Structure formats: structure tokens, C-alpha cells
Amino acid sequence: MSIGTANLSVDELKEMARTIRRDCLVQTHVAKSGHPGGPLSAADYLTSLYFNYVKVDPKNPKDDSRDYFIISNGHCSALNYALLSRRGFFPPGYLMTFRSTGSGLEGHPNRHKTPGVDISAGSLGHGLPIAHGIALGAKLKGSDQRVFVNLGDGELQEGSCWEAIMAAAHYRSDNILAVVDYNDVQIDGRTHEVMNIRPLDGKFKAFGWKVFEGNGHDMNEVIRLLDHAIDSMGKGQPVVVLFHTVMMKGVPSFENDHIWHGKALADDKLLQTALTELGYNETPKEAVASYGDVNVARGEYHKIMGWPPPQVCDRD
Ligand SMILES: Cc1ncc(C[n+]2csc(CCOP(=O)(O)OP(=O)(O)O)c2C)c(N)n1
Ligand SMILES: [Mg+2]
């Protein structure tokens, strides 16, 4: 395999986003902790972006010519890991070690432990400044690498984001594309009530960015927006797409409620409801079992990482 994109059809992207949602719900269910809400918000547009636009080589995660892909709101780690795994960086079985002792799949992504994670994240407001530093570095090297960075709307309350937004326009960093999970929900309520960030389009424009905005769940619209956004790169301005989304999208019983920002569907009954609503005809136990033996997956992963054999140290 070499550097490139997965080039999925619209139907394949829709099906992949459904798989990714299931991965996120099952990971957090097994860990009985983690953040399902943001991952399900961003699942459609990040599946499209990561599979069809970001150039990577899963067999060579540090390839010098790769695009960078940064999920700055690191609490969406379950989504980051599902995307990496389904793109081929490590076996899906390893997702079942999410947040367990000895796993590389920590609660917040660690660039030293997980192939394909370009920066460690979790402290909000750091991803965009780092992404911009990488973008400046790429220009200095004369490289045509691009930097893609996902931001939460609550995260955009951090002042450090706006310093980076100002700097990126000042330096005409046109090799950076930011995408925003504009779900109007954050950890403790509605984003516009906790600390209003609107009008986000006007703010980015005033800072000198090229702005696109639309529905982050309609796959055809997502592709149209990403096509336009990527065509706009390389023209002297940083680019952002504001994706309007719904927290926990895909599982209507749980949609649009901030309590699912950081609460797993730990109970079997809750996961059963969600799996059914996602269109899976399986029990939670069957869903978990479908990922295979966790310890086999852990061993395969250690081989990929070149680490010593794993100490078996499961939570139960
Ligand atoms: C610097 C910093 N402050 C606070 C937190 C705690 N925190 C984690 S997620 C979150 C809310 C983020 O909201 P948003 O970006 O909209 O994510 P969503 O709830 O939509 O997933 C907060 C306050 C943090 N991780 N980092
Ligand atoms: Mg949000």
C-alpha cells in the first residue's frame, strides 16, 4: 500500500459512517466510560474527510509526504480510533481495549502510542495552534503536505484557537483546512448559552479565513462542501468548513442531549436501543464478540508497534 485516499463511493461512505458509529458506541460501552456524543456528531463528515481526502499510508503512518489529520477535541478519541482502525492502521479488535490499562488507545489520543495519531490531544484549544505550526513547517520545507484539523464548537471558546486563527490568516497559511463540529452542544449545555460563539462564519471571515458552511450529516452535501473547501486551498487563505451537526446523531433516542457528551451507553439495554436504531440486528454481547479476541488483537497491535509482548491486564 502507498500514500493515498480510500476513494469510497457515497454509499460506501454512508455505510462506513454507520460502522464507525457502532465502533464508537461499542468501545465506550465496553470501557464503561468515554465520550460517545461528539464522535456521533462528527462521524459523517470526518468519515468522508478521512477516507476520501486525507492522504495517508496506514502501513507507514509517519510517511514524510502524508497529510496531517488532527482531532483537536481529543475527547472524541473513540472516533479517532475507529477511523484509524477502519482505514487500516490497526485491527478493529484492538478497539475493545479502549481506555483499558496497557492499551495504546488511551482516553485521549497519545501520539507516542497510536499509529496515525499526529498530535496528542485532549486539552482543548491546542490542536489548531499545533496544526498551524505544522502547516508553517511544511511550507518552510517546501512540502505540499496539507493539514486537516477538527475542532469542537465548545472548544472554540478557547482564546488560543483565535490566536491561531489570526496567525494562520496573517501568514497566509493556505495549506490548512479546519472543520468544525458545530453541534451547539458542549459538556454542560448549549454552546450558545454557555458562551456564545456565534456568528462563527462572520468571526472566521473577519479573521481572514475562507468559510464554507452546511449540513454535516447529508453525505452528498458533505462531499460538495469538502470538494469546494479543498479546491480553495493553496489560494492565500486558510479554509474552514462549519458543519452543522447533532450530538449523538444516528441514535434518535439519545440525539441532541448534552448528557451524552461524556457518558457511555454502559448499560446493555441502552446499547441495545442504540444498535437497533442504527439498524443492527444484534445483541450488545454479539456486537462485542464480533470484534474477536481482545488479547489476540492486543498481540497483533504490539507487533505493529514493535513493542514487547503485552501483559494481559484487562479491567475485569
Ligand atoms: C482546556 C480544557 N478545558 C476544559 C476541558 C474539559 N472539556 C472536555 S470536552 C469539553 C466540552 C467541549 O465542547 P465541544 O468542543 O463542543 O465538544 P462536544 O461536547 O460537542 O463533543 C470540556 C469543557 C478540556 N478538555 N480542556
Ligand atoms: Mg460541541
Which ligand is nearest to the Cα of residue 152, counting in written order?
A: 1
Q: Is 192 in the pocket of ligand 1 (CB under 6 A)?
A: no
| CATH number of the domain within which 248 lies | 3.40.50.970
Q: How far is the CA of 295 from the centre of ligand 1 (A)?
A: 32
* Domain annotation covers residue 42: yes
All cell numbers assigned to 103: 492499551
Q: How far is the CA of 300 from the centre of ligand 1 (A)?
A: 33
Give the residue among 46, 111, 118 at the shortest CA–CA distance from 76: 46
* Domain annotation covers residue 312: no
* Domain annotation covers residue 1: no
| Residues 153-176: tens digit of each pLDDT | 999 999 999 999 999 999 999 999
Q: How far is the CA of 186 from the centre of ligand 1 (A)?
A: 6
- What DSSP string describes 199-249? -HHHHHHHTT-EEEEEESS-HHHHHHHHHHHHHTTTSSS-EEEEEE--TTT
Ligand 1 atom nearest residue 39's Cα: 21
pLDDT of residue 308: 86
Q: Is 155 in the pocket of ligand 1 (CB under 6 A)?
A: yes
pLDDT of residue 19: 99
Q: Is 164 in the pocket of ligand 1 (CB under 6 A)?
A: no
* Domain annotation covers residue 281: yes
* Domain annotation covers residue 183: yes
| Residues 98-129: tens digit of each pLDDT | 999 889 999 999 999 999 999 999 999 999 99
Residue with CA closest to ligand 1 atom 7? 187
Range of the domain at 180: 10-305
CA dist 146 and 144 (Å) reads 6
* Domain annotation covers residue 273: yes
Q: How far is the CA of 75 from the centre of ligand 1 (A)?
A: 7
pLDDT of residue 87: 98
Q: Is 187 in the pocket of ligand 1 (CB under 6 A)?
A: yes
Pocket test for ligand 1, best of 46, 72, 73, 197 (most atoms within 8 A of CB): 73
Residue with CA closest to ligand 1 atom 25? 123
Residue with CA closest to ligand 1 atom 4? 124
* Domain annotation covers residue 277: yes
8 A C-beta contact, residue 189 and residue 251:
no
Going by C-beta distance under 8 Å and a sequence separation of 6 or more, which residues neighbour residue 172?
236, 237
Residues 289-312, mean pLDDT to the nearest whole number: 88
The count of domains in the chain is 1
Ligand 1 atom nearest residue 247's Cα: 20
Q: Is beta strand 189-190 parallel, antiparallel or unpaired with respect to 185-186? A: antiparallel
Q: Is 108 in the pocket of ligand 1 (CB under 6 A)?
A: no
* Domain annotation covers residue 81: yes
Pocket test for ligand 1, best of 75, 77, 188 (most atoms within 8 A of CB): 75
Ligand 1 atom nearest residue 122's Cα: 25
Q: Tell me which of 314 and 202 has the higher pLDDT.
A: 202
| Residues 55-86: tens digit of each pLDDT | 999 999 999 999 999 999 999 999 999 999 99
